[in-house]
Structure formats: C-alpha cells, structure tokens
Amino acid sequence: MHRQVADIDDPMVEYAMKCDLTIGEKKGAGNKEHNYLIEVLNSNTSVVKDNYMMDRIFENIFEEVENGKVGFLLKIKSAIMDLLIASLRNLSALKDAEYSIPKKDDNRLFELIREYINDNIDRCILCTELSKYFFLSEKQLNRIVMKYTGLTTYRFITACKIVTIKKLLSDTDSKLSDIAKQTGFSSEFHLSNRFKQFTGMSPYQYRNKKIQGDDVIFV
C-alpha cells in the first residue's frame, strides 16, 4: 500500500493497495459475498467515480501506521475491509450489477426448529420462546413452519407432542399421567383432550387398537 503525490501544489493524490484474497472452505451467505467481491474486482479495470470516500479510508490507514497506537493493526484490518467493500460498491454501480442479499436457508432453519421442539418435548413450549431462541418474529416463524407442514407453529408443536405420545402408547405400558409429564402437558385430561382433537380417538382407544393390531387412520 502506498500514497503518491506528484506535485505538492496539485490536489491529485494516488493511492494504491496490493493484496491477495482467498476464500475459506466454510459455506454460507458470507462466502457468497466473498466470491462476489473477488468476481467484481477481477473483472473490472475501469476508472470510476468514488462515491464512498475511499480517500478518507486510505488516509485513516496511513494515520494509524504513523501513530502506531495500541490496536492500530486491528484498525488497519478493519479499514482494508472497508476499502474492499467501497471498491465493490463503486464497481457494482458502474456495471449496474444486481446483487441479491443471501437469504437464510429456510429448510435448515425448519429442521433446527423441529429439533428444538423434540429436544424439549417434555416442556410446555410457547411460540414466543421459539421466536426469541431463533431471533425471528412470530410471523416469520409461522411462515417457515407453515411452508413445510401446512400447520401453524402452535399446531406443529402439538403435532410433535402427539407423535411422541403415540410412540409411548404403542411401545410402553406407561400410565397416561406419566406420559403427560413426559410430553409437557399439565394433566392427563389436557393430554387426552388434545390427542382426541388430532386423532379422532382417545389415548386409551388408540392403545387398544394398536394392541389388537387394527389399522388406525388419523385425521
């Protein structure tokens, strides 16, 4: 990196920076931006108008080098990143590049939501809890769950509990009161009521049907 002044009376100043950019192996939205940065910088050698005050960024870097105060290396690294981003934006404006902001992977997020519910199936899980845990609004959370299940978040939480209840009814001799505790229901009555709403039969009817080997159709 250097700064060159041809004539002390000439306001023109030349700044230059040479650097090698490499992309790590980690995948995700960050890498997409890094790849886009390298693509734009490598494909443009045009003279463009600076709309992002790159001269000030350069001057800040040289000032940090000259002063050498504690933390100056970190400040320089940060400023270099600012330079790269400013270059990217200047060049992108030149070619009218359309760059879509990387979006979160809804499928992966949904799997994490389902995993969280199943890992905490023994508790009463509220939509607000999920919303805060995943840094989503309740509306965003509901959209993702609806996209993959057709259910609201509230009904999906209950549906996950029903799946666990069915397994416990089929594979164990546990009392209904114990199953209620294991699946986060406040009482046996509450569990029975929700189970019947989802399956069309009581937990006892379901268990008897499974014991008898009858096919059970659920709504």
Does residue 79 sit in the same domain as residue 121?
A: no
Helix (H/G/I), strand (E/B), else coil: 14 = strand
pLDDT at 100 (0 to 100): 46
pLDDT band at 97; cut points 50, 70, 90: very low
219 found inside a domain: no
Query: How many CB atoms neighbour CB 43 within 10 A?
Result: 10
The reply to whether 15 falls in a domain is yes
Q: Which of 94, 120, 138 is the last residue of a domain?
A: 94
Looking at the fold, whether 47 and 115 belong to one and the same domain comes out as no
Within this chain, do residues 139 and 196 fall inside the same structural domain, yes or no?
yes
Within a domain: 184:
yes
Are the beta carbons of 202 and 192 closer than 8 angstroms? yes
Task: State whether 14 and 81 are in the same domain.
Answer: yes
Phi and psi dihedrals of 14, rounded to 5? -105, 130
**Residue 101 domain-assigned (yes or no):** no
Q: Is the model more confident about 16 or about 84?
A: 84
Closest C-alpha to 117, from 193, 214, 35, 184: 184
Q: In this structure, are 64 and 155 located in the same domain?
A: no
- Taking only the tens place, the pLDDT of each residue in 138-157 is 999 999 999 999 999 999 99
Q: Does residue 217 sit within a domain?
A: no
Q: Which tokens belong to 103?
A: 């979006």
pLDDT for res 219: 33
Q: What is the pLDDT of residue 101?
A: 43
193: CATH: 1.10.10.60
CA distance 2 to 15: 6
Q: Based on the domain organization, do 135 and 178 belong to the same domain?
A: yes
My answer on whether 62 and 126 are in the same domain is: no
Task: Tell me how far apart the alpha carbons of residues 127 and 76 are, in angstroms, rounded to a whole number.
Answer: 44
**Residue 191 pLDDT > 90:** yes
Task: Kindly state whether residues 197 and 119 are assigned to the same domain.
Answer: yes
What local confidence, expressed as pLDDT, does residue 24 receive?
62
Average pLDDT over residues 183-192: 95
Q: Is residue 218 part of a domain?
A: no
Q: How many domains are there within the chain?
A: 2
> Is 192 contained in some domain?
yes
Q: Which two tokens stand for residue 146?
A: 């609806």
Query: Is residue 86 within 8 Å of residue 52, measured between CB atoms?
Result: yes
* Domain that includes residue 41, residue range: 2-94
Interatomic CA distance for residues 64 and 73, integer angstroms: 8
d(CA 65, CA 106): 44
- Taking each helix axis from N to C end, the angle separating 203-212 and 153-171, rounded to the nearest 10 degrees, works out to 50
Residues 25 and 110 in one domain: no
Q: Which amino acid is at 70?
A: V
Please provide residue 183's backbone torsions phi and psi, each rounded to the nearest 5 degrees: -115, 15
Helices 153-171/138-149 angle, 10° precision: 50
Last residue of a domain, one of 94, 119, 146: 94
Q: Does 24 fall in a domain?
A: yes
* Per-residue pLDDT at 7: 55
Gap between the Cα atoms of 113 and 133, Å rounded = 9
Q: Are residues 72 and 115 in the same domain?
A: no
Q: Where a domain ends, among 39, 70, 94?
A: 94
Distance CA(83)–CA(61), nearest Å, equals 10
Query: Are 87 and 113 in a shared domain?
Result: no
**What is the arithmetic mean of pLDDT over 77-103?**
68
For the stretch 14-65, pLDDT in tens is 667 666 666 665 555 556 667 777 776 776 555 667 777 787 888 888 888 8
Whether residue 120 is found in the same domain as residue 196: yes
